[in-house]
Amino acid sequence: MANILIVDDEMGIRELLSEILSDEGHDVVLAANAAAARAARNAARPDLVLLDIWMPDTDGITLLKEWAANGQLSMPVVMMSGHGTIDTAVEATRIGAIDYLEKPIALQKLLAAVKRGLQRPATPGTPAALSLAAFTRSVPLRELRRRIEQIGENSRVLLLKVGAGSIAELAARSVFSANAHWIDLSQLHNPIDIAQLQAAHGGVVFAGELARLSRPQQKNLAFILERLDRYDLRMVVATDHSTEGLQRLGWDEGLLARLFEVSLVPPSLADIRDDVPELAAQILLHLVEAGEVPRHHFSTGALNALRTHPWPGGYAELRGAVKSIALGTLEEEIALADVRRIIGQPNDSAAFALPLDQPLREAREAFERMYFEHHLRLEGGNMTRLAEKSGLERTHLYRKLKQLGLQAGRRSEEA
């Protein structure tokens, strides 16, 4: 029979549904919250999920959006709620849920919904590309997504001002739904025509770096720009050049004025380095779901190494590294050594280089931050050993880390 995941924060409901479905011959896995549901979904794809909407940590609608965004909504999901509304049911269906059950759930309605779900054919095709919607635990990425959505309500064109460590593509894929048609201008080498725009209706046009577009590609951009409204398209372009710099490269002043009218400065990977482990883990999950790499998961040491790497090539470099690491790792768990084979050893001299043209107080704070980041990494987050090595009393150490914006260790405190 089927493998069914039941996600509900009420123990009585979990046990009742489990008993009913077990009596029907199904194998049942229980999860009391979204965190447990993520772990169960990551371990293996269930044949069907019964998902409660109202849960204490992350609500079911948010979890459903997360699965849809990272390519994991490949199984039928039936939503459950004791106090839902029609709007909630409509939203859940729009995201990808196949059914909606009101509590208390009648036995026949439950069995009928499960039967319908299990009769649905498996979702074909490759998961949609990752977008910011997949990263629900990162405050900077959540805020970036809200800003992009707000701008998108009033403008069809968005320019991202980026530099080293750019996440421009990840941001651009968040402008519309994950399944929207995607046109990468850097991949178009011939003149685009009306038929292509008609096929891309409702999609997103993207340029990762304006300065790298050839003259024919610039003409394609201008051609599409004039027809965004007609074909319900959005355009997202990125650059680390100024308008003056692009004009020196031959760009038309009027075209640049339109492109630079609405701009946003997204964070770089260096700005959100503490979120790099989540980014890497979600990238890996997406690659596994797409069948591009074998099933793996990162060790804590591997994630720490990815977090401290500079990633000047941004999101594209991080994704390429994760894919290479996963393809070259023999064990299911990706260890620190597996990561080091791809990204190399940390360059301590480069990592500890300090700009000397800043005030003494800021330079001292920068040094302290790098000092504690270095030793947190060496000690695996163990606060007891860090206190001994730094010579600071534990209370003072925690206060110092908080002042520097560093997260105290979460691992075992045993020396």
pLDDT by position in tens, the chain (length 415)? 899 999 999 999 999 999 999 999 999 999 999 989 998 998 878 999 999 998 887 889 989 988 887 778 888 999 998 876 778 888 888 888 999 998 989 999 999 999 999 988 765 556 678 888 888 888 999 999 999 999 999 999 999 999 888 999 999 998 876 567 899 999 999 999 999 999 999 999 999 999 999 999 999 999 999 999 999 999 999 999 999 999 999 999 999 999 999 999 999 998 999 999 999 999 998 898 888 999 999 999 899 999 989 898 999 999 999 999 999 999 999 999 999 999 987 654 444 555 566 688 777 887 888 788 777 776 667 788 788 888 888 888 888 888 887 777 544 444 4
In a domain, 310, yes or no: yes
Cβ-based neighbours of 189, under 8 Å, separated by 6 or more: 214, 216, 217
* Domain count of the fold of the chain: 4
Cross-strand partners of 6:
30, 50
- The whole-number pLDDT of residue 356 equals 64
Show the tokens assigned to 63.
Answer: 């979890």
Cross-strand partners of 336:
none
Q: Residue 176's domain is classified under what CATH number?
A: 3.40.50.300
Q: Residue 396's domain is classified under what CATH number?
A: 1.10.10.60
Q: Are residues 360 and 333 in the same domain?
A: no
Separation of alpha carbons 309 and 276, rounded Å:
9
- The whole-number pLDDT of residue 84 equals 66
In a domain, 277, yes or no: yes
- The whole-number pLDDT of residue 127 equals 67
Q: Which residue matches tokens 């620190």?
A: 336
Domain boundary, last residue among 346, 361, 381 = 346
DSSP secondary structure code for residue 275 in this structure: G
Show the tokens assigned to 102.
Answer: 């009101």
Domain boundary, last residue among 232, 264, 296 = 264
In a domain, 259, yes or no: yes
In a domain, 413, yes or no: no
Q: Residue 341's domain is classified under what CATH number?
A: 1.10.8.60
Separation of alpha carbons 220 and 214, rounded Å:
10
Q: Are residues 225 and 332 in the same domain?
A: no
Q: Are residues 28 and 109 in the same domain?
A: yes
In a domain, 245, yes or no: yes
Cβ-based neighbours of 304, under 8 Å, separated by 6 or more: 277, 336, 377, 380
Q: What is the CA radius of gyration of the chain?
A: 24
Separation of alpha carbons 92 and 358, rounded Å:
51
Separation of alpha carbons 214 and 188, rounded Å:
10
Total Cβ atoms within 10 A of residue 371: 13
DSSP 286-298: HHHHTTSS---EE
Total Cβ atoms within 10 A of residue 313: 15
Separation of alpha carbons 75 and 117, rounded Å:
9
Q: Are residues 361 and 319 in the same domain?
A: no
Separation of alpha carbons 64 and 235, rounded Å:
27
Q: Are residues 341 and 368 in the same domain?
A: no
Show the tokens assigned to 380.
Answer: 């695996």
Domain boundary, last residue among 301, 323, 346 = 346
In a domain, 127, yes or no: no
Q: Residue 39's domain is classified under what CATH number?
A: 3.40.50.2300
Q: Are residues 216 and 247 in the same domain?
A: yes
Segment 353-381, tens digit of pLDDT: 555 666 887 778 878 887 887 777 766 67
Q: Are residues 152 and 258 in the same domain?
A: yes
Q: Are residues 167 and 236 in the same domain?
A: yes
Q: Which residue matches tokens 């064109």?
A: 157
Residue range of the domain that includes 355: 350-403
Q: Give the CA distances from residue 212 to residues 190, 321, 354, 391, in Å, rounded to whole numbers and listed in that order.
A: 16, 23, 31, 51
Q: Are residues 143 and 260 in the same domain?
A: yes
Give the count of alpha carbons within 13 A of 147, CB side only.
17
Helix (H, G, I), strand (E, B) or coil at 110: helix
Reported as type and span, the H/E element at residue 232 is: none
In a domain, 128, yes or no: no
In a domain, 412, yes or no: no
- The whole-number pLDDT of residue 161 equals 95
Q: Are residues 342 and 247 in the same domain?
A: no
Instruction: From 18, 39, 38, 20, select the one nearest 30 (Cα to Cα).
Output: 18
Separation of alpha carbons 403 and 158, rounded Å:
35
Total Cβ atoms within 10 A of residue 367: 12
DSSP secondary structure code for residue 134 in this structure: G
Instruction: From 4, 38, 244, 21, select the one nearest 137 (Cα to Cα).
Output: 38
Q: Are residues 160 and 240 in the same domain?
A: yes
- The whole-number pLDDT of residue 218 equals 95
Q: Are residues 34 and 111 in the same domain?
A: yes
